[in-house]
């Protein structure tokens, strides 16, 4: 697998055109620096000012980042880690979209896209090679922020009693709680708050084996979302003629898909409603099974999109109707 990946990376025209600036070359490291600086700033602010700590806790509760009882006041570092992990998740998912959206639209803007069709190299080689050339640095960034996900479990303790908080309060994505709030009003008409009552179960200590497993699954969910969003932007970059339009459409399409048809929150709530459950707590274990299924579906769809670009690249570049394969 690794030798094949190296061959794709070294294929002619696999690297994006032009000389990249230091900002572009080290974009993952810059994003990591932003997350770490934010973590340190929030921690110092919450540690030095008790009023700031309570404000940050209120913001976290309002944003759905935690669903703890108001009697619990998490430690300053716990709140800072929780807010920073949400920022890291958003960066992991959406930061690579910009580079992927420019993969081919930038070539089209410079007028060099059609000339690639005249080269003796098969399109599948440099198409897949370019995808991995842009993606791999952001895979490195996803690995960089992995400890922050686990830190959310290790340091999720009450500032006063030291009691561990519950991992169930955190959904598969940073926006899960508020998204379930909204979807509950759509799917669960008999109780506007029925969709989120399951997240208030204080039954699973965060700093435990199960807490670490759920933190790892949270990272896997975000990583698969990042892979799908990058592949979707890569697909749209060869179909859209304008760079700005490609970036905008990629961000909107990725966010829309991840909030609806590829959202474990939407599927779990829809399945629970279809099964006519009046107690969503019954299907708590099914939530993470649905999450695993959506992780696999995103990965499959991502590679399908890249394969579509590789196999139909000539037709997409010439704005022709691609022939049906198979």
Secondary structure (DSSP) of 40-81? HHHHHHHHH-HHHHHHHHHHHHHHTS----TT--B-HHHHHH
Q: How far is residue 175's CA from residue 269's CA, in Å, rounded to a whole number?
A: 15
Cα 145 to Cα 133: distance, rounded to the nearest angstrom = 20
What is the token pair recorded at 67?
């669903």
From 10, 171, 30, select the one nearest 98 (Cα to Cα): 30
Q: Is residue 141 over pLDDT 80?
A: yes
Q: Could you tell me which of 224, 252, 234 has the C-alpha nearest to residue 309?
A: 234
More confident residue, 56 or 91: 91
Is the pLDDT at 52 greater than 80? The verdict is: no
- State the Cα–Cα distance between residues 320 and 309, nearest whole angstrom: 13
What three-state secondary structure class fits 12?
A: coil
CA–CA gap between residue 170 and residue 151 (Å, rounded): 13
Yes or no: say if 210 and 204 are a contact pair by the CB < 8 Å rule.
yes
Q: What angle do CA 259, 261, 266 make, to 5 degrees?
A: 65
Residues 135 and 96: beta-carbon distance below 8 Å: yes
CA pair distance 72, 158, nearest whole angstrom: 6
With cut-offs at 50, 70 and 90, classify the pLDDT of residue 61: low
Question: Do residues 173 and 221 make contact, with C-beta atoms less than 8 angstroms apart?
Answer: yes
Alpha helix ranges (H) inside the chain: 2-9, 22-25, 27-48, 50-63, 76-110, 123-144, 146-154, 176-187, 209-239, 243-259, 264-274, 284-311, 313-317
- Among 61-65, 234-238, 264-268, 309-313, the least confident range: 61-65
pLDDT attached to residue 207: 55
Per-range mean pLDDT, top range of 143-152, 207-216, 234-243: 234-243
CA distance 203 to 274: 26
256 and 236 Cβ atoms separated by less than 8 Å: no
In tens, the pLDDT along 9-43 reads 777 777 777 667 777 778 899 999 999 998 888 88
Residue 109 pLDDT class (50, 70, 90 cuts): confident
Better pLDDT: 196 or 223: 223
Let me know: does 113 contact 119? Beta carbons within 8 Å: no
| Residue 177 near residue 263, CB atoms below 8 Å | no
Structure tokens at 181: 């709030």
pLDDT of residue 159: 39
d(CA 231, CA 97): 8
Q: What is the pLDDT of residue 213?
A: 76
Could you say which DSSP state residue 19 is in?
A: P
Q: What is the pTM of this model?
A: 0.84
Ranking 17-21, 149-153, 217-221, 242-246 by mean pLDDT, the lowest is 17-21
Question: Which pLDDT does position 196 carry in this prediction?
Answer: 42
Query: In terms of pLDDT, which residue wins out, 307 or 69?
Result: 307
How many CB atoms within 10 Å of residue 275?
10
């Amino acid at each position: 697998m690794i030798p094949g990946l190296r061959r794709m990376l070294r294929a002619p025209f696999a690297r994006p055109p032009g000389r990249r600036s230091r900002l572009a070359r080290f974009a993952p490291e810059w994003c990591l620096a932003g997350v770490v600086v934010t973590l340190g700033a929030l921690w110092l602010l919450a540690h030095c000012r008790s009023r700031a700590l309570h404000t940050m806790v209120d913001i976290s509760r309002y944003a759905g980042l935690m669903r703890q009882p108001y009697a619990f006041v998490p430690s300053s570092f716990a709140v800072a880690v929780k807010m920073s992990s949400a920022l890291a998740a958003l960066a992991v998912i959406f930061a690579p979209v910009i580079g992927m959206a420019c993969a081919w639209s930038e070539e089209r803007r410079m007028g060099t896209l059609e000339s690639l069709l005249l080269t003796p190299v098969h399109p599948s080689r440099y198409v897949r090679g370019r995808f991995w050339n842009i993606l791999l640095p952001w895979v490195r960034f996803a690995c960089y922020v992995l400890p922050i996900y686990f830190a959310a479990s290790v340091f999720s303790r009450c500032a006063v009693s030291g009691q561990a908080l519950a991992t169930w309060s955190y959904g598969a994505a940073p926006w899960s709680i508020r998204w379930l709030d909204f979807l509950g009003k759509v799917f669960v008409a008999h109780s506007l708050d029925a969709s989120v009552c399951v997240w208030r179960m204080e039954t699973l200590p965060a700093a435990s084996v199960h807490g670490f497993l759920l933190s790892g699954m949270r990272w896997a969910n975000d990583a698969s979302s990042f892979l799908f969003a990058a592949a979707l932007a890569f697909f749209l970059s060869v179909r859209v003629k304008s760079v700005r339009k490609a970036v905008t459409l990629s961000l909107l399409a990725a966010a829309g898909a991840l909030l609806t048809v590829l959202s474990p929150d939407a599927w779990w709530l829809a399945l629970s409603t279809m099964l006519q459950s009046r107690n969503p707590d019954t299907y708590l274990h099914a939530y993470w099974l649905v999450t695993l299924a959506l992780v696999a579906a995103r990965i499959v769809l991502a590679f399908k999109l890249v394969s579509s670009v590789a196999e139909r690249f000539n037709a997409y570049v010439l704005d022709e109707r691609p022939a049906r394969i198979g």
